A and B are shown apart, each in its own frame.
Chain A
Amino acid sequence: MKLLILLVGVLGIIAIAQLTKVYELTRSMRKTREEEITPSDNKLQANLMLVWMFLFFIGVIFLYGRYGDYLPESASEHGVAVDNLMAINIWMITIVFFAVNFLLFYFSWKFQYKKERKARFFAHDNRLEMLWTLIPGVTMAFIIVYGLITWNNMTGPASADAIQIEVYSKQFGWIVRYPGDNKTFGSYTYNLIDPSTNPLGMVTRENIENKIEEIDAEIEKIEAAIEANHALPLWPESYLESQEEKVYRLQRQKQRILDLNETVNPTSGLSEWEAGADDKIVNTEMHIPVGKEVEFIFRSQDVIHSAYMPHFRSQMNTVPGVPTRFKMTPTITTEEMREKTGNDEFNYILLCNKVCGVSHYNMKINVIVESESDYMAWLEKQKTYVAPEATEETSSSNTDTVTETEAPAETTVVASN
């Protein structure tokens, strides 16, 4: 195989060399020079301009015809406006594309070199310049105004009764959090994250105690090892340094946790450390109700990801340390879309659209749009963050939450991984 590849390469170059030699021999026999383009060559190139133009245009029209319906109709309210804006833009640029490319290749053909003709000395014309400054200017003014109206409607503040959903990204998956009955998210800090028990870093007194305990235990363990190494130095210097650094880092993390303040949410009057008890954390799929405004709050654990939902014409980056927002109103349920597309398997999808590592191409979660009642029923079935039996106001409907008081650290967290 390798040999074959090399052979083809070498033969190709030899072939070009031979062709060039033949060409150069004929040229020197005819005594022509490279820069003197012969009339027949010039005519051929001019004709090729036209041939190319037709092939190019046919190819483009074919692509428009076959792939022009780029996505199913928009499943969100603002997406309809976006699609209208897009349609106008595409029409406009398509017309200009054909017009300018036509003129370019047509002029190239039409004004090919003729011995008897002299080019027209036409150096400037202010009226023409004015014309093609004004026309794009006016067109752009229209596009800017129309575009910005659409943009402002999309990005304005969410209405007061919008459903808030937090979407959390990490290498390589999505976690969705619903605020629960009290409509308030519990607070979080990355210092409390534990991939298996507390993936979102929810702040509760219990989580704080557990984390501090865990950190203390780890510090103690490392310090003991360092102590042992002092007695009998076996570690290379660099390893010792890395261990000392680790202790320092853990101490800083502990201090950041101790610095946390319990705050009260001004709208709900709840403590943000307790407000999260009824939050619902899901990582299998995201459900949203049709016809209700949803405000997404995006967060990220490690690197920048981007939450892209092409069927809703929605996208927002998720940035570690900087929460971002995007609101939309879904208008078509998954069931309806399955009918419209004639595809029983159809699912809306949220995918990652900012390169984030090796599994970037496979970081997705399905989005289910359903009627509000179905949505409420589904939400009801999801486990709350802290099992209701352990909190004051126990709700009766949650039967599948298990609580064992003797091992709280492991069982109070029900987010599945």
Chain B
Amino acid sequence: MGATAEHTNAHGHDNHGHAHHHEESFISKYIFSQDHKMISKQFLITAIFMGIVAVMLSIFFRLQLGWPGESFGILNFFLGDKWAPNGVLNGNAYLAMVTIHGTIMVFFVLTGGLSGTFANLLIPLQIGARDMASGFLNMLSYWFFLTSSVIMIASLFVEGGAASGGWTIYPPLSALPQAMPGSGMGMTLWLISMVLFVASSLLGGLNYIVTIVNLRTKGMKMTRLPLTMWALLVTAILGVLSFPVLVSAVVLLLMDRGFGTAFYLSDIFIEGQALDVTGGSPILYQHLFWFLGHPEVYIVLLPALGISSEIISTNSRKPIFGYKAMVGSILAIGFLSFIVWGHHMYVTGMNPFIGSVFVFTTLLIAIPSAVKAFNYLTTLWQGNIRFTPGMLFSIGLVSTFVTGGLTGIILADSALDVNVHDTYFVVAHFHIVMGMSAIFGMLGGVYHWFPKMFGRMMNTKLGYAHFWLTLISGYGVFFPMHFVGLAGSPRRYYSYSEFEFLDWVQDLNPVISTFAIIGACAQLLFLFNFFHSIWYGQVATQNPWGSNTLEWTTPIEAIHGNWPGAIPEVHRWAYDYSNPEHDVDFVPQNVPLKEGEHAH
């Protein structure tokens, strides 16, 4: 360890000297930057843009679901006469909106955006490194991400419309252009975009792992890593192990679409033709997809949990309760996430015995999740809580993590899943536990680390308003969906007017849509606050939240190489808040132990 740290220091000094000697050009500083802090901003701003698109798409289809068949000028304004003739979204456009909303949110905002932003920003700063292990790969990671984002957005503009088979794009629907217009060019672009996205994710992930393992500063033992680092490390490992499987699934699908293979296709008769395909299995795709798809849920969630651990501890002025248990539960969740994918497939005709195994492994995840939830509560207990906007979002995250996680118990139970599979109950579940929690983690992280990113503060009052409106409208949208789903409403339906037995829950749909619109408008507060504060926010102080982690020991004005002098040495864990052995209520990690002080 000592040797590694020395080496890092020596290397770091070179970087630092180098940075002083010449001004970087606009292009190498802002565009093809290899500096982790700039790359993190690039990820964040791209993700915000993608998020705006995804939220707008959701408003479009919520208008249709809330008031089916009614004419909305705004739909015609944005989508034109082809997709929204007379202001009414058409069926194919509806499915395309749903699909691209899901794809962008899951992959581009909550995977690329969340990990890309905070892994890049925080890993070198919190472990005490000058930069990522490879700045070049890091840059490539962003440019792959941007290219894949551009292709995904472009797919919205092709003739047949964007991919429309749902974000899971199950073949044969996604494999056969005859099956729906969205399975034409739009689907090809979707698949290409996804291959590039995975490349970005792998380059980033490998870099994060290597950096955390090798470039920690002197004294930064693994057991002293802040929880954000643990969460991002496990996230990166999950990504590196599972994303390649998605690529294989996607490549096989591309082969089936364009090269006459039949990996996923068998015995299909469509549009008056018996296709020349036998022997494939559509279920194979689902196995491959969910082998990524389930770890993906934790790729989205774990960084948010890491971020909230950090924020809650800092703002409760208390150490995070049960640091080791928190690390253990992150590892346990990470491991278990690889052996639960079958719970998405209970009704595919899979052998019921295999279903039983997946019931068992899936419900085990409830245990580390419960440990995390109770540890959060105990961290708040007898704290001295300061409600910064970041803290509010982190508390909101604990609420949504628990509320959404609990319904997972029902979905994990195969006998129960049969009746709620693919209904709005599922939509409610994963939007609360994964969507809201991860978004709350991301927004909380932005409020918390904004001063580190831009050297200025975001407006607190707007942050408060943003939080409460988001929390209320988020629950307002997704909580009623549980009941819509339990009543038997399938998801991805264009309209529910065709089923008499669902009529009695239809009064919920306008309510849900109204909350969705309020929630979307509330994000304008954030957008304004974010962009306004970049230029006009109050200039930050070095350690505005009184935090212990190393990133707050760097100067306010970000520099290449992070620390102007030597990298600080670490002497203690990251959670010495209100330590009775000290007079101040926080003791940063680089403060040496006092005589006779007991290190945690």
Contact = CB atoms under 8 A, between A and B. Distances in A.
A12 B349 CA distance: 52
Given A85-B413, A154-B418, A354-B170, A117 B179 contact: no
Contacts of A154: 415, 418
Contacts of B422: 306, 308, 353-354
A201 B269 contact: yes
Contacts of A359: 91
B410 A90 contact: yes
Nearest to A153: B415
A121 B92 CA distance: 57
B500 A345 contact: yes
A96 B541 CA distance: 41
Contacts of A118: 317, 384, 578, 585
B464 to A, nearest CB: 7
A122 B323 CA distance: 11
A342 interface: no
Interface stretch (B147-155, B218-226, B239-247, B374-382): B374-382
Most buried by A among B325, B385, B459, B578: B385
A120 B274 contact: no
A89 interface: yes
A239 interface: no
A33 B543 CA distance: 13
A323 B281 CA distance: 11
A271 to B, nearest CB: 22
A301 B486 contact: no
Given A70-B486, A143-B363, A302 B421 contact: no
Nearest to B273: A249
Interface in A115-158: 117-125, 128-129, 132-133, 135-137, 140, 143-144, 147-148, 150-152, 154-156
A304 B356 contact: no
A312 B421 CA distance: 14
A352 B416 CA distance: 18
B318 A355 contact: no
B501 A349 contact: yes
A13 B421 contact: no
Nearest to B356: A148
Given A17-B528, A140-B363, A310-B419, A93 B382 contact: no
A148 B414 CA distance: 8
Interface stretch (A188-196, A383-391, A409-417): A188-196
B595 to A, nearest CB: 19
A85 B508 CA distance: 26
A113 interface: yes
B463 to A, nearest CB: 9
Nearest to B480: A63
A171 B419 CA distance: 23
Contacts of A71: 486-488
B179 A171 contact: yes
Contact of A122 (B321, B398, B492, B493): B321
Given A16-B462, A52-B472, A313-B419, A147 B498 contact: no
Interface stretch (A38-46, A230-238, A392-400): A38-46
Interface residues of B, number: 139
B367 A133 contact: yes
B106 interface: no
Contacts of B1: none
A308 B425 CA distance: 15
A86 interface: yes
A147 to B, nearest CB: 4
Interface in B147-182: 165-166, 170, 172-173, 176, 179-180
B180 A357 contact: yes
B414 A34 contact: no
Contacts of B251: none
How many interface residues does chain A have, given as a range?
35 or more
Most buried by A among B173, B267, B421, B459: B267
A351 B499 contact: yes
A320 interface: yes
Given A147-B416, A357-B180, A104 B322 contact: no
A303 B95 contact: no
A100 interface: yes
Interface in B74-104: 74, 77, 91-92, 95
B416 to A, nearest CB: 6
B223 to A, nearest CB: 13
Nearest to A323: B349
A85 B416 contact: yes
A52 B415 contact: no
Contact of B180 (A85, A189, A190, A358): A358
A62 to B, nearest CB: 10
B4 interface: no
Contact of A155 (B319, B355, B395, B529): B355
A35 interface: yes
A378 B76 CA distance: 50
Contact of B282 (A27, A63, A81, A304): A304
Interface in A325-370: 325, 345-347, 349, 351-362, 364
A143 B322 CA distance: 27
A82 B402 contact: no
A152 B402 contact: no
A2 B87 CA distance: 12
Nearest to A16: B528
A35 B544 contact: yes
B370 interface: yes
Q: Sorted from nearest, which 3 A-B pairs have the closest CB atoms?
A: A321-B266, A324-B349, A310-B488
21 contacts: A2-B73, A16-B524, A35-B541, A37-B388, A49-B395, A103-B377, A107-B381, A108-B387, A112-B385, A113-B384, A118-B317, A119-B578, A121-B319, A129-B322, A135-B370, A148-B360, A156-B352, A315-B419, A352-B490, A359-B91, A364-B499
Interface of B: 73-74, 77, 91-92, 95, 165-166, 170, 172-173, 176, 179-180, 265-270, 272-274, 276, 278-283, 316-319, 321-325, 347-349, 352, 355-356, 359-360, 363-364, 366-367, 370-371, 373-378, 380-388, 392, 395, 398-399, 402-403, 406-407, 409-410, 413-416, 418-419, 421-423, 451, 457-462, 464, 468, 471-472, 475-476, 479-480, 482-483, 486-488, 490-496, 498-501, 505, 508, 521, 524-525, 528-529, 532, 537-538, 540-541, 544-545, 575, 577-580, 585, 600
Given A46-B385, A100-B377, 13 more contacts: A67-B480, A71-B488, A100-B402, A103-B377, A119-B382, A119-B585, A133-B367, A140-B363, A155-B352, A190-B267, A319-B349, A347-B500, A354-B422
